[in-house]
Amino acid sequence: MTWTAYLHPALMLLIVFPVGFAAAAFGIELQQVRAERSRRKVSPKLARDRHIANGIAFLISLVLVATVGGFASKSLPEAIDTDWHGLGALVVVLLLVVSTALVTVRSLKRRKWARLVHSILNGTVMAMLVIQFLSGGWMIRQLLRS
């Protein structure tokens, strides 16, 4: 086993989680600005641009780091089962694809329900990432014991 087994969790903690939570925070700020409930004086355009920039960075980093994780899982001992963790990663990516499509595909983003479903799916993604974090921690624990 090599250092690559630890690369995926390190990148998740250092890049994916912070960028994902920033995108979520800017998404909440955007909703508050649109509803005129924001305590901060931020223009709707700036709030939207921040959310989109962080969302794109989150999507790209998540796909790249998940790919690294898929390759790294091949170097793990056979005793460490990665099936559920891999399935969770696939669900996260699929939810994000649908969520992103709702707010970028012209015919979908015009629907009144698209923003609400986008928010619900992204909240589900954040919950799934917490589960992924716990699952990954369990795998690291097994790895350190072997």
* Residue range 58-114, pLDDT digits in tens: 999 999 999 999 998 888 888 898 999 999 999 999 999 999 999 999 999 899 999
Instruction: Pull the structure tokens for residue 55.
Output: 């969302």
0.85 cut: is pTM over it?
A: yes
Percent share of the chain, pLDDT over 70: 99
The contacts of residue 75 (CB under 8 Å, 6+ apart) are 1, 2, 4, 5
Domain boundaries, given as residue ranges, for the chain:
3-144
Q: State the greatest distance between any 2 C-alpha atoms of the chain, in Å, as a whole number.
A: 54
